[in-house]
Chain A
């Protein structure tokens, strides 16, 4: 079997790891060119003030599609996951005229409150919210694994998947910006912004509830 090229390995690493350090010097140009030949787009996903990172995005107009007539089957995210992410998006997307990435930082408590305000979850008074908090932890972890958010306790920021969105895709969200879940005007950040520490071994019980909520389309196969 012929030896794989360095760029093929490099681009494959981008898929397996989600993101890689930006290669230096001539290697960057090689990756860039290879991405073009691969029908893809090398995207800078660095955060200001930190080391350069790249990810592999899609050619403009050729982003992955889903939905009824796309011909592609997708497992939908549950409403809890989707709304949690939407809440993060809103909280981090300060200026809707810009691309949301990298955006600003937000906190878990703010995200929790924003999701609660949709009425999807039981009320977020302190003790009653313990269940919700654990529920949220599960959602946050899942979103992190999939690259939609990055968690840096207690802060949350948008993840590299958001960086890959094209301007056209962003425009679709710009339209419903106001409807993205957010906190009320009278909400304030709790002084010691420490939510109850998640008992991780109980998380899976909430995962079960999570997964039954809405469509868990894996089960249909």
Chain B
């Protein structure tokens, strides 16, 4: 069917259900609208009659006005013709001989059904029928003939639904089953049938055979539904399909579930303890990279292994390069073109933990063989109990003068008072 909304599978499915619903009374196969916009026109009219003061009816112009946001003028006129022809809008003449229209309550009932159909499907009607039958029996206002008809109707509904489910299970793609999962979610069905059974046996034992048949079909339907749900679960699990529930259901659970309920999920799952990669080779490498420099000779740390060439870790290499770049820029900012900068006041103003990050960056910059910076810390402590950073050691950032031969002792940096001089480590 070449309709406007083939692109939207939800609307297409709804249109299919509308056609199927009306089929019993349709004069021709083309009787049902293709586009739910047309249905929206009917709803708009119903709303107008229900909301406005329409006790005297509404004129054609008022009706057109009520639908102005829902459709264009041509669509309204064509729908208006159908509605009047079929009796949804009934015509009468007021005292001034002006044509007015009223809304047929039967059509209103139809609109309610269509609305419910969009949500719930046929089995819902069945449940309603069972409820009504039980209520009538309890109130003693049902005749044996009426109950017989209700039981028969319910049984047929169940038979057809069971067959439908079995066909879905054996031949349809998972997406179709998922689309209809809400139509078969009444877990009180057997209970309702059992309760009805008791009532009927008491009041109308002559309906025993009809009741037996109903119970059998109810069981058959429930068995078919079990297969339907089993297929949903098996295939859904295989592809971890989370559309068996709506996102709102999962989201609501995230907001409201208790710690205990949440804790059930991983209650029997075994995981490994935390690990770290600190095998001897890794430790040796780290130590080599971070051996403190002897004060008499400035030697850059041995560069780290290049990161492995595999894809995820080239991203790591990029991040390292970005971090280096960031530290370079930060250092240059501090230095403002000069060769030395006292970071102390910047640290004090930066607050916590920004000050720590600043120090870490400066130290890292000084360790980076690409960046020729030095960091030294004076052997003091500035305590400022009310400041943003309460305890600060003066930190000097310097750019050493580049030597053409190996570094001498005369770099512009102040002596690294804080690096423990006694800890001269001869290599190996």
Contact = CB atoms under 8 A, between A and B. Distances in A.
A touches B (Cβ under 8 A): yes
Interface of A: 15-18, 63-69, 73-77, 79, 81-83, 85-86, 89, 117-120, 122-123, 125, 127-128, 130-131, 142-143, 145-148, 161, 165, 169-170, 172-173, 175-176, 178-182, 184-186, 205-206, 208-209, 212-213, 215, 217, 219-221
A219 to B, nearest CB: 7
Contacts of B316: 215, 217, 219-220
Interface stretch (B37-45, B235-243, B273-281): B273-281
A131 B356 contact: yes
A128 B359 CA distance: 13
- Per CB-CB distance, the 10 closest pairs between chain A and chain B, nearest first, are A82-B286, A220-B315, A146-B276, A220-B316, A169-B280, A145-B274, A74-B277, A184-B422, A184-B420, A68-B308
Contacts of B56: none
Contacts of A68: 305-309
B110 interface: no
B270 A128 contact: no
A118 B290 contact: yes
B51 interface: no
Contacts of A83: 286-287, 290
Contacts of B282: 66-67, 74, 76-77, 82
Interface in B288-344: 288-292, 305-310, 312-313, 315-316, 319-320
Nearest to A121: B363
A120 B290 contact: yes
A119 B363 contact: yes
Contact of B353 (A16, A67, A209): A209
Nearest to B366: A119
Given A66-B279, A85-B278, A221-B312, A117 B290 contact: no
B69 interface: no
B418 A119 contact: yes
Contacts of B274: 142, 145-146
A146 B356 CA distance: 26
Interface string B392-427: 110000000000000000000000101110110111
A128 B320 CA distance: 29
Contacts of B287: 82-83, 86, 176, 179-181
Contact of A127 (B273, B379, B383, B423): B383
B290 A79 contact: yes
B173 to A, nearest CB: 32
Given A142-B276, A176-B287, 19 more contacts: A15-B272, A17-B273, A66-B282, A68-B308, A73-B312, A82-B282, A82-B287, A117-B292, A117-B419, A123-B379, A128-B391, A145-B273, A148-B278, A176-B428, A179-B291, A185-B422, A205-B353, A209-B356, A209-B360
- For chain B, which range describes its interface: under 10, 10 to 19, 20 to 34, or 35 or more residues? 35 or more
B363 A16 contact: no
B281 A178 contact: no
Contacts of A63: 279
Given A145-B273, A145-B274, A146-B275, A79 B393 contact: no
A144 B422 CA distance: 30
20 contacts: A15-B272, A16-B270, A64-B279, A67-B308, A69-B308, A76-B277, A79-B286, A85-B278, A127-B381, A128-B393, A146-B274, A146-B276, A165-B280, A175-B428, A179-B428, A186-B422, A209-B356, A209-B360, A212-B360, A220-B316
A122 B278 contact: no
B357 interface: yes
Nearest to B378: A123
Contact of A220 (B273, B284, B312): B312
A85 B283 contact: yes
Given A68-B307, A73-B313, A83-B287, A179 B381 contact: no
A146 B363 contact: no
A109 to B, nearest CB: 15
B162 interface: no
Contacts of B393: 122-123, 125, 128
Contacts of A176: 284, 287-288, 428
B154 interface: no
A82 B278 contact: yes
B284 A77 contact: no
A169 B282 CA distance: 11
Interface string B248-287: 0000000000000000000000111111111111111011
